[in-house]
Amino acid sequence: MNKLKSNPLGFLFIIIKYISLIVGAIITLLPLAVIFLASFKTSAEYGSTGILELPASFLNFENYIIAFTKGNMLVGFANTFINVSITLLGSMICGTMIAYILHRFQFAGRKVILGLFLIATFIPAITTQVATFQIMNYFKLFNTRWSVILLGLGTDIVSVYIFLQFLDGISYSLDESAMLEGASMLKIYTRIILPLLKPAIATAVILKTVNLYNDFYSAFLYMPKQRLHVVSTALFKFKGPYGSNWEVISAGVVVIIVPTLILFLALQKYIYNGVTAGSVK
Amino acid sequence: MNVGRNTVKEPVKISKEYKVNQFKKGVFISAFASVPVALLITFSYIPLCNMFYYSFTSWDGLAKTKKLIGFSNYITIFSNPEYFMVFKTSLYYLVGAFIQMAIALYFATLLTNKVKGGNFFKGILFFPNLINGVAIGMVFLCFFQVGGTLDMVLKALGLQDWIHKWLGDRSINNMTLAATSIWRYMGFNMVIFVGAIQSISSEIYEAAELDGANRWQQFRYIIMPSIKRIIQLNLLLAINGALAVFEIPYIMTDGNNGTATFVIQTIDTAFKYKKVGLASAMGMVLFIIVILVAIIQTLFLNDKREERL
């Protein structure tokens, strides 16, 4: 290490390192900072002040009120909350059940089911909506929240893989001793597997929450009815009526990013783990 | 292009088996497996099979009957420039993905060196990956609009000659959108690379330092070979990513002005122009490409495994 410190090249490296990181951070934050500042400006102020000039008052919530009420964001948050909650609950139950079965039982068709879950990751999700749309119509799910909820459940493959991987680390002898004590298979699932899967469930819930919260296209395609708008589709609608009212659009953008930011700051470790768990080691 | 999320996993192997009544076991398995499997089949496989069938028809999505027309839809895709030219748009995102990977690797290397506030910088660079796509679209519409943030910054730096109609000018708008995509997804690759670099044993670095290896040599001869495979894999997956680009151009430019990607074209063909048959054929083309890439990837992975043995 001492050798590096006395080395002028090493010193240059340290300078380049910090300059790169600071430039990277500025490029990442600048577009967001402009939006944040704009969200507190009045319409006249937005037109007359520079983009990085502070607003006259950070207590000007006018744009936020418009975003929530006229901009339908309040409805969006309510719907997003309902849809995401139901989908999460359903997909964690379904995901742990199928992972338990596939991991602990040998039966005819097991390989087929594993294969189905594997190949499904390769089906391009957006283009198949061309055909999925007909299924939604067939079940009369168009313009109901169940379209998006069932789609979220039916295409939840990543969670299943996280559970399968995690089950590798849960010793089979636990199942065996419970069985010797007369526990049923259902009891093993609820009393042993589920509690031990908690860390995997946490990772899957976080990844899934971010994905569902950010989902735009399925809500846009299947729930055009305004009463069913989620945050993504509500914000997308800002493009029309508020086309040039950047201060109102900015408020909508801030409102949609804040929950994500809080989640990220609180659960950074889980999020990074989730990202690396989803990639090839 | 959300590169790297679609990866193959080895199926799990079972070593032991519950010793219970076969009938009970069968009932239990059916009870637990039926709902998840039914959902998977209904929303992944039936659409895929239907899409395959529709791709040989001239169906408009509404008519009661579907007329079979053989391979006409596929011929249209590859002979009508209106359809196959959109592949050109993907090239912008493919080049973008390579640049994205290079930037990610650069930052990952910096962050795995001793750096003050490393977690802080890592957090900032990664965060865009979590932001809602519609919000990102809006943020960059504001950033790139005429007289918007970028123009102001260029003016302040005395570079007003560089100002363009970033989203309007056909010769550069796809680059603008690809750059937005890099802003969004770079942090994801970076975090993966950081993970890979950190899994290299610190003893190797120490040995290298004792031998007098400089930073570049450490990067070239220790880091690069260790994470070569993960980089190659990510580059391969970038092909899928570049073809599947949808949200950013759809939200920012509606795919107008030469910014339509293959997926946008497919969706518009189906829902705007009501040519479900043709759109299905386009969907099948994308599916086949994705499967081909997956096969190459698997072959390539097996190759590496043999090498190690």
**Which residues span the domain enclosing B84?**
73-308
pLDDT at A123: 86
CA A104, A107, A108: angle at the middle one, nearest 5?
A: 150
B131–A contact, CB cutoff 8 A:
yes
pLDDT in tens, A148-187: 999 999 877 888 988 998 998 888 888 888 888 888 899 9
pLDDT at B248: 94
Other Cβ atoms within 10 Å of B65 Cβ, number? 6
B6–A contact, CB cutoff 8 A:
yes
Per-residue pLDDT of chain B (309 residues; tens, 9 = 90+): 444 444 444 445 555 667 778 888 899 999 999 999 999 999 999 999 999 999 999 999 888 889 999 999 999 999 998 888 888 899 999 999 999 999 999 999 999 888 889 999 999 999 999 999 999 999 999 999 988 899 989 998 999 888 889 998 899 999 999 999 999 999 999 999 998 888 887 788 788 888 888 878 888 888 888 888 888 878 877 888 888 899 999 999 998 989 999 999 999 999 999 999 999 999 999 999 988 988 887 787 665 544 433
Tokens of B280: 């299905």
pLDDT in tens, A113-146: 999 988 888 888 888 999 999 999 999 999 999 9
Of A261 and A53, the structure prediction assigns the larger pLDDT to A261
Is A102 close to B61, i.e. CB distance below 8 A?
no
Is B135 close to A276, i.e. CB distance below 8 A?
no
Total number of domains constituting chain B: 1
**Residues B242-277 as b or e (16 or more Cβ within 10 Å = b):** bbbbbbbbbbbbebeeebbbbbbbbbbbbbeeebbb
Distance from CA of A101 to the nearest CA of B (A): 6
- In a domain, residue B63? The reply is no
B151–A contact, CB cutoff 8 A:
no
- In a domain, residue B256? The reply is yes
CB A172 within 8 A of CB B15: yes
pLDDT at A281: 34
A116–B contact, CB cutoff 8 A:
yes
Is B195 close to A51, i.e. CB distance below 8 A?
no
| Chain B neighbors of A220, CB-CB under 8 A | none
Amino acid symbol at A73: M
In order of start, what are the domains of chain A with their CATH numbers?
A: 2-62 (no CATH), 70-239 (1.10.3720.10)
- In a domain, residue B5? The reply is no
Q: Which of residues 171-230 of A touch B (CB under 8 A)?
A: 172, 175-176, 179, 185-186, 189, 210, 213-214, 216-217, 221
Is B6 close to A121, i.e. CB distance below 8 A?
yes
pLDDT at A269: 86
- pLDDT interval class at A1 (50, 70, 90): very low
CB B281 within 8 A of CB B268: no
- In a domain, residue B274? The reply is yes
Three-state SS at A269: helix
Q: Which residue of A has its CA nearest to B23?
A: A107
- In a domain, residue B45? The reply is no
A122–B contact, CB cutoff 8 A:
yes
- In a domain, residue B32? The reply is no
Mutate to test the interface with B, among A87, A249, A279, A281 (most CBs of B within 10 A): A279
Nearest to B90 by CA among B232, B266, B231: B266
pLDDT at B7: 45
Q: pTM for this structure?
A: 0.89
- In a domain, residue B86? The reply is yes
CB A223 within 8 A of CB A145: yes
**Residues A71-109 as b or e (16 or more Cβ within 10 Å = b):** bbbebbbebbeebbebbbebbbebbbbbbbbbbbbebee
A247–B contact, CB cutoff 8 A:
no
| Chain A neighbors of B37, CB-CB under 8 A | 98, 113, 116
User: DSSP for B21-45?
Assistant: -HHHHHHHHHHHHHHHHHHHIIIII
pLDDT at A119: 86
- In a domain, residue B33? The reply is no
Place of tokens 């100002």: B163
User: DSSP for B177-232?
Assistant: HHHHHHHHHHHHHHHHHHHHHHTS-HHHHHHHHHTT--HHHHIIIIIHHHHHHHHH
CATH code, domain carrying B222: 1.10.3720.10
